[in-house]
Amino acid sequence: MAVNLHEKSAADLLHIDGVQVYVGQAGVKKPDHDDVTLLVLGKNNTVGAVFTKNRFCAAPVETARAHLAEAEGVRALVVNTGNANAGTGVQGRADAVAVCAAVAEQIGCKTEQVLPFSTGVILEPLPAAKIIKAVAQLRPVHWNDAARAIMTTDTVPKAASREGLVGSSHTVKATGIAKGSGMIHPNMATMLGFIVCDAAVSQPVLQQMTQEIADMSFNAITVDGDTSTNDSFVIVATAKNGQSEIDNIADPRYRQLKELLGSLAEELAQAIVRDGEGASKFITVEVTQAANREEAKQIAYAVARSPLVKTAFFASDPNLGRILAAIGYAGVEDLDTGRLKVWLDDVLVAEQGGRAAAYTEDQGQAVMAQDEITVRIELMRGQAAAKVYTCDFSYDYVRINADYRS
């Protein structure tokens, strides 16, 4: 089902100095199934993190935020699947802390130096005892096993690596894993992304970079517009590559590292869309020449989220009216619809408030028959731009979401 998405092998994924990867089996939902993942970090690393903006955020999100604020250095990330520990109140928070305490005891650090992540059913108590027992029996693995262990409804594990020069004399290696196949349902919907690199970056600068990268990757995808209670994205810099610390955003290495890690995050985020429920096409909606990034994103999201546009892509129907209507209702009050232009890949389809003069339905049909399509909207208002990635909307979306309890 996934659109042009394939599993990576252990050899495709770089080992990162300063990180050890473990998985284990707590049997939260299924027996004989890896459902606990632990990333153990060396000292002197830094961590950037962004979390769901959902007001119903889960206990592990609250706990991770609190631990990040208190901790003198994060030493481990622990992830369980099968139970999201969301909508679980005070007990949920206690359970999240208990899991962190077990990890801390195991590796020899403080409870606050462990960040917990959970994904799975919500509104059910976390089986913390099972997870704690599993933590004592983890086994070292490669990244590809970790990518598999954090899956819930994903059909393909999501992982990628990058290596590149940052500064004139040092390379940075980075590996990331992610899970999510759209907001499938709050029972197993969470989007998690973890990237680890061996660069040296001060904490405030890494936090800034994490936010900027999230904005162009995990915050630029939509399967159905719903956002989960547990979404989290973390970048760890282990400072093991021997270069001096990047401690301000004016350092030219900031941009280089951001591009390297950003490209990795984009691949992971796009993998989530490619594995979107029932997805048969991968769609990029690109808005250019906007007055500002805000309006560019607003219009890109209106098009990318429209059920009508998405069902037209499923049907390979070059339905310009649906795209124009979505642009029109995006909420940009002073938009001059007579000036903007719309392309499907390289075909100009709309201008001057209607269908482009030279456009033929055959041209549109040829683009729509592809499994990767770019909708480009030129607003002629300024220099800002935004890209949003989405997938089409199929029978299978309804089937998966309507039938999962049966």
Which residues of the chain form contacts with a copy of itself (CB under 8 A)? 53-57, 86-89, 121-123, 183-187, 189, 224-229, 305-308, 311-312, 314-315, 317, 319-322, 324-330, 332-333, 335, 337-338, 350, 352-355, 393-395, 397-399, 401-403, 405-406
Residues 6+ apart with CB under 8 A from 395: 278
The verdict on whether residue 401 carries a ligand-binding annotation is: yes
Q: How far is the CB of 234 from a copy of itself (least distance, A)?
A: 20
CB atoms within 10 A of CB 127: 18
Q: How far is the CB of 375 from a copy of itself (least distance, A)?
A: 15
The verdict on whether residue 310 carries a ligand-binding annotation is: no
Q: Which is nearer to a copy of itself, 123 or 358 (CB)?
A: 123
Q: Are 340 and 377 in contact (CB under 8 A)?
A: yes
The verdict on whether residue 406 carries a ligand-binding annotation is: yes
How does strand 372-378 pair with strand 282-290? parallel
Q: Which is nearer to a copy of itself, 163 or 294 (CB)?
A: 294
Residues 205-215 as b/e (b if ≥16 CB within 10 A, e otherwise) read bbbbbbebbbb
Q: Are 390 and 222 in contact (CB under 8 A)?
A: yes
Q: How far is the CB of 47 from a copy of itself (least distance, A)?
A: 25
The verdict on whether residue 190 carries a ligand-binding annotation is: yes
- For residue 294, give the nearest of 329, 332, 325 by alpha carbon: 332
Q: Which is nearer to a copy of itself, 3 or 39 (CB)?
A: 3
Q: Which of 46, 190, 210, 238 is catalytic?
A: 190
Q: Are 355 and 320 in contact (CB under 8 A)?
A: yes
Q: What is the rounded CA–CA span in Å between residue 34 and residue 25?
A: 5
The verdict on whether residue 105 carries a ligand-binding annotation is: no
| End-to-end Cα distance, the chain | 21
The verdict on whether residue 44 carries a ligand-binding annotation is: no
350: helix, coil or strand?
strand
Q: Which is nearer to a copy of itself, 47 or 287 (CB)?
A: 287
Is 190 annotated as catalytic?
Answer: yes
Q: How far is the CB of 102 from a copy of itself (least distance, A)?
A: 24
Q: How far is the CB of 184 from a copy of itself (least distance, A)?
A: 8
Which positions make up the binding site? 152, 179, 190, 277, 401, 406
Q: Which residues are catalytic?
A: 190
Annotated binding site for substrate, which residues? 152, 179, 190, 277, 401, 406
